Each structure stands twice: as structure tokens, then as C-alpha cells.
Amino acid sequence: MFRFLLGRLAQSALVLGLAVSVVFALLRAAPGDPLSGSTLDATTAPATRELLRRQYALNRPLLEQYAHFVGSALRGELGMSLSRGRPVAQVLRDVVPNTVLLMGTGLFLGILGGIALGAWQGSRDTRSSATSARVARMSERIGLAIIATPEYIVATAMLTLFAATWRLFPIGGMVSLGVHDSLGPVARAGDVLWHLTLPALTLALIVGAGVARYQRTEMRLVLARPFIRTARAKGVPEARVLVHHALRNALGPVITLCGLLLPSLVGGAVFVEAIFAWPGMGRTMVEAVTGRDYPLAIGAVIVSSVLVALGGLLADVAAAVADPRLARGRR
């Protein structure tokens, strides 16, 4: 297990280093200078332009720029935000916890719900009642529809229905402006939770639909295996067969999948944060891009890549805990 962990850590570090290089390469391959699209315009004095070029080391040879870029990224020096006049690292430190809260809640609810739903759908067979089989089929179709629906449409629909029409939840933000600071600690947490509900549910719905789809497939595969028939023949109660024998064996691949879902989920969180005005990294990223705040945008990409790599590492460790064979070399 220790060796596995060490190897996996080294692999993550390597992949992250490469990811920083890829970002650099893509930026340089894209047309235009990082500064050409930034806050500068035609009226900027050539001297100012030159000063900025030197500050961002754009007048240096490409290889030196690359070393500079990777070096400062590794040291966590992400430069100054052009639009906010503060170091990028500071700006991100303020918003990353909010994103982690939102995505963590969404992931947790989505994975738990998806596993439960998928396991139930996968366990419906010829012996279950006609009604429950029909409900299962119906829920599978709804799930497929959700999978085909982009995050921003789910988010907009949730916002329109639950916040704007029925006024059950706030239409955006993380706290009630003006009121929040005068509340007690418990009421404050409640306030954040109230604001968190809709965006987190949006993410949970999308994650859950995807997880359930894989979980029910795995469940069906496992239920067709001989040891399940053996367990049933021995007279093990059906609930125990499903949970202890089938679900436990069907869980491993799904946990790995949750790690693979992360990058697209971080992308989805960008839309969800933008729509619900959640003060997280995704919204900061969109603001940075519309405000042509290049250093902030790059910083957000690098930090989110780190988060994704960490999440993937976590998922692999969790899968190895669930199925120790994974940690012992070849799968």
C-alpha cells in the first residue's frame, strides 16, 4: 500500500509538471501575445508596453520564458492580477475554499445518490415486481436525459423554477448581503447552506446521473457472476446478497470513475458558479477572462489542475482501499 501510494504520488507530480508545460505550449501556440488582448489598448504608451513585456519576461527567448513560467508556477508565484491589483495567489486563496465547498457537497451527494440509485436500478430483474421494474426503467431514461443536458441548462432551469418562480431559494451569491454579518454563527452557517442548496444540487444531479449509469451496469455484471448464485443457493437473505456480495464488488470501478469525472465536473462548476454568482474559482475565472486578466486566468487553470490531480489521487487510493488487489500491482 505504501509503495502504491508513493508511486501514485510521483506519477501525479510528473503529470502536473507536464500539465504546466502543456498550458505554456498552448498559450504560445495560440495567436497573439498575452499582452495584446489584455488591459492594454492603442493608447498605451510604447514605454509602458515595453515595461510590462519585461515584467512578464516576454522579451526573453522562448526557452527562458518556459523556465521562468514553470519555475514560478512551482514556487506558487502566479504573478499579479491585472484587474484586482493583488497577487493572483491571494485572490485564488480567497475563492478556492468556496469552490471546494460547492464541489465537495455536489460530489458527495451526487456520488452517494448515484451509487444508491444505480445499485437499485441494477438489481431490478425478472424477479422484481412489474411496477418497480417500470419505475427503474423510467428513472434510467430520465438519467440519460440529464446526462445529455449541459450544466448551464440544468442550472438555469433550477434557478428559474426554484429561485425565481417559487422563491424557495436565493437567486445567487453565497450569503445574504447586508444581513449575513449581523447573524450568529449558527444562523450564518444556515445562511450559507441555504445559498448552497441549488448550485450543489445542480452538480449533484449531473454527477448522480453519470454515476448511476455506471453503477447499474457494474451491478448487472456482478449479479450475473456465479458466486451470487452460490450465495442465493446457500440461502443468504436477498438484501445481504445485494449489499454485501454484489454492491461491494461493483463499487471499485465506480470509485475510479468518480476520479475520471473530476475534470469535466470542474468545468461544469465554472458554469454553475457563473450562473448562481457563487464566489468561487470558476466565476473568478470567467471574470478574469472577460476582464482580460491573463495572469489570474492562468493561475486559476494551474490551481484547478492541481485540484483535479489531487482528486484523482484520492479516488485511486479510495479504490485501492475498497479493493486491495488494485494496490498490489497489475490490475
Partner 1 sequence: MIATPAATLRGTGVPRVATGVLAVALFVALCGGLLSPHDPNAFSGIVGMQNMPPSWAHPFGTDGLSRDVLSRVIVGARISLGVGALSVCIAVLLGTAWGAVAGSTDSWLDDLLMRVVDAMLVIPRVLLLLVLASAGPMSPWKLAVALGLTAWPPMSRVVRAQVRAIRQRDWVLAARALGASRTRLLVRHILPGVMPHIAVAATLSFASVIPLEAGLSFLGLGVRPPTASWGNIMRDGADRMLDTWWMLLFPALAIIATVAAFNAVGERWRAAVDPQQVVR
Instruction: Return the closest-CA partner of residue 149 out of 214, 209, 215, 211.
Output: 209
Instruction: Return the closest-CA partner of residue 295 out of 306, 284, 305.
Output: 284
Residue 325 CB, nearest approach to partner 1 (Å) = 19
Residue 168 CB, nearest approach to partner 1 (Å) = 15
Exposed, middle or buried by CB within 10 Å (0-12, 13-18, 19+), for 130?
A: exposed
The contacts of residue 50 (CB under 8 Å, 6+ apart) are 59
Pick one of 217, 228, 236, 314: the residue that binds partner 1 (CB under 8 A): 217
Pick one of 106, 114, 199, 312: the residue that binds partner 1 (CB under 8 A): 312
Pick one of 51, 100, 142, 145: the residue that binds partner 1 (CB under 8 A): 145
- Rounded-to-integer distance, Cα 94 and Cα 330, Å: 41
Residue 148 CB, nearest approach to partner 1 (Å) = 4
Residue 69 CA, chain-centre distance (Å), reads 25
Q: Between 31 and 184, name the residue whose CB sits nearer to partner 1.
A: 31
- Residue 33-62 contact track with partner 1, rule CB under 8 A, x = bound: -x-xx-------------------------
- Rounded-to-integer distance, Cα 319 and Cα 325, Å: 10
Q: Between 131 and 290, name the residue whose CB sits nearer to partner 1.
A: 290
Pick one of 2, 31, 233, 331: the residue that binds partner 1 (CB under 8 A): 31
Q: Between 71 and 190, name the residue whose CB sits nearer to partner 1.
A: 71
Cell of 175: 450569503
- Residue 88-127 contact track with partner 1, rule CB under 8 A, x = bound: ----------------------------------------
- Residue 261-300 contact track with partner 1, rule CB under 8 A, x = bound: --xx-xxx-xx--x----------xx-xxx-xxx--xx-x
Neighbours of 253 (CB within 10 A): 16
CA dihedral 52, 56, 59, 61 (to 10 degrees): 180
- Tell me which long-range contacts 149-152 makes (C-beta under 8 A, separation of at least 24): 150/271, 151/202, 151/203, 151/206, 151/268, 151/269, 151/271, 151/272, 152/271, 152/272, 152/274, 152/275
Going by the DSSP 8-state scheme, the letter that residue 34 receives in this structure is: T
Pick one of 4, 8, 23, 57: the residue that binds partner 1 (CB under 8 A): 23
Residue 129 CB, nearest approach to partner 1 (Å) = 20
Enumerate binding residues for partner 1 (CB under 8 A).
14-16, 18-19, 21-23, 26-27, 30-32, 34, 36-37, 140, 144-145, 147-153, 156, 159-160, 164-165, 213-214, 216-217, 220, 263-264, 266-268, 270-271, 274, 285-286, 288-290, 292-294, 297-298, 300-301, 304-305, 308-309, 312
